[in-house]
Structure 1
Amino acid sequence: MFIQHMWGVFYNPEKEWSKVKYDKYSVLQYYTRDLIWMCALAPIALFFGTTQIGWSIGLGEYVKLTAASAAPIALAFYVALLVGTGVMARVIHWMEKTYGSDASIERCMALTTYTATPLLLAGLAGFWPHIWFVVAVGLVALSYTIYLLYTGVPKIMDIPEEQGFMFATSILTVGLVVLVGMMAASVLLWGTGLAPAYVR
C-alpha cells in the first residue's frame, strides 16, 4: 500500500492525499513498513559514495573517507532521519488544534512520511557525491516536498485551503529549525570523535 500511495502522491497528489487520509496504519507500522528502509537510502548511498567514489566540490580531485570513519557517521545520519521524522509528526500533531484540525497522530505521521519521500529518495544522489549534483537533486526534491506539503495539509488535516496554507507554512518553518538542529548536533558529534577521516 505504501508504494501505491508513494507513486500516487508523486503523479496525482490531490487524489492520493484523499486516500491516504483513510489509512489505518499505526505510527509503528509507518516505521516498520516504510521509514526503516526509506531513511536508510541516503546513509547507504553516502557511505558508498564517500568511501568508494569520493566527493568533490568542483573540478578538483575526489577525496575519500575511510570506511571506519564513514560507518558511524552514516549510522548517526540514519538514526537522525528516523528521529527527525517522528519529531516532525509530533510537532504537526501538537500544532493542529491551532489551525482547527483534529487529526490523529497516525494521520500526522502519514503526512510526514509521504511528504518527506522526495527528500529521502534524493539521498540516492549520494552514490555520486559531487557537490553540484547533490545540491541540484536536493533542490528539485525539496521543491517537490514543499509542493506536497502545501497540497497535503488541507486534505490530511481536513481544513480549508487558507488555514492549510498557514499550517503548511508553520510546518515548513519547524522543519527548517529541525534541520538546523540536526546540523548543530552533527558539529557537536564531530567534536566528540565522530569526525571524518580521509584516505591519504
Structure 2
Amino acid sequence: MVLRHFLNILFRPAEAWQAIRSESWTIGGLYLGTIVPLAAIPPLAGYYGTTHHGWQIAGNAPVRLTPDSALPISIAYFIAILVAFYVIALLIQWMSSTYGERQPLVRCLALAVYSAIPLLLIGVVQAYPVLWVNLVAGLVAMTYAVYLLYRGVPIVMDIPDHRGFLFASAVLAVSLVSLVATLAASVILWDHGIGPMFTH
C-alpha cells in the first residue's frame, strides 16, 4: 500500500491524494513505514559524500569531513527531519480549523510527508556533493514538492480549491520558517561541539 502511494504521488498525484485521504493511518505506522526510511536518505548520502568525495572550491584539493565529525552531524540531520515533520503536522492540524474542519493529526502528517517526497528522494545527490548539481536538483525537487502540496491540500483536507490555495500557502510559509529554525539550531549545535572537522 505504501509503495503504491509512493509511486502514485510522483506520477499520478491526484489519484494518490485521494487514496491517502481514505487510508487508515497510525502515526507510528506512518513513521516506521514511510518517514524513517525516506528521512534516512539525505543524511546517509550526505555522510558518504562529505567523507568520501568531499567538494572542491575554485579547483583546489577536495575538502572532506572527518568520519568522526560527519557522524554526529548526520544523526542530528536525521533527527531534525523526523521532528520537523511532526511539528509541521501539528501546525497543519492547528490551521485546519481556520480553513475547514479540524483534521486528525495523522492525516496532517501524511500530507506533510507525501508532499516532501521529492525533497527526500533528491537527497541522494548529496552522495556526490557538487554545488551546482545539488542546487539544480534541489530546485527541481522543491518545485515539484510545492506543486504536490498545492494539489494535495484541497483533497486531503476536504476543502474547496480556493481555500486549499490559501491553506497550502500557509503550510508553505510554516515549512520555510521550520527550515530557518533548523538552520539556526545547526549553528547553535556547531557552537556547542557538534561541528564539522575538515580534512583534505
Q: Scaled by the length of structure 2, what TM-score is found? A: 0.97
* Aligned 8 A contact 2:8 2:16 in 1: yes
* SS of residue matched to 2:193: helix
Q: How many angstroms apart in 2 are the aligned matches of 1:120 and 1:57?
A: 26
Amino acid at match of 1:15: E
Unmatched segments (≥5 aa) in structure 1: none
* Aligned 8 A contact 1:41 1:121 in 2: yes
Q: How many angstroms apart in 2 are the aligned matches of 1:62 and 1:179?
A: 28
1:49 equivalent to 2:49? Answer yes
* SS of residue matched to 2:22: coil
Following superposition, the deviation at residue 58 of structure 1 comes to 5.2
* Aligned 8 A contact 1:30 1:113 in 2: no
Q: How many angstroms apart in 2 are the aligned matches of 1:116 and 1:88?
A: 11
* Aligned 8 A contact 2:94 2:102 in 1: no
Amino acid at match of 1:67: P
- Cα RMSD after superposing both structures: 1.0
| Count of aligned pairs between the two proteins | 200
* SS of residue matched to 1:194: coil
* Aligned 8 A contact 2:39 2:120 in 1: yes
Pair 1:70–1:161, CA change in 2 (3 A)? same
* SS of residue matched to 2:64: coil
Residue 129 of structure 2: aligned partner: 129
Amino acid at match of 2:82: L
Q: How many angstroms apart in 1 are the aligned matches of 2:28 and 2:139?
A: 30
The equivalences for 1:1-200 within 5 A come to: 1-57=1-57, 59-200=59-200
* SS of residue matched to 1:34: helix
Unmatched segments (≥5 aa) in structure 2: none
Question: Which runs of structure 1 show a deviation greater than 2 angstroms over 4 or more consecutive aligned residues?
Answer: 56-61
Following superposition, the deviation at residue 59 of structure 1 comes to 4.2
Amino acid at match of 2:166: M
Pair 1:105–1:193, CA change in 2 (3 A)? same
Q: Scaled by the length of structure 1, what TM-score is found? A: 0.97
* SS of residue matched to 2:116: helix
Q: How many angstroms apart in 2 are the aligned matches of 1:168 and 1:185?
A: 25
* Aligned 8 A contact 1:57 1:131 in 2: no
* SS of residue matched to 2:198: coil
Following superposition, the deviation at residue 60 of structure 1 comes to 3.8
Amino acid at match of 1:94: W
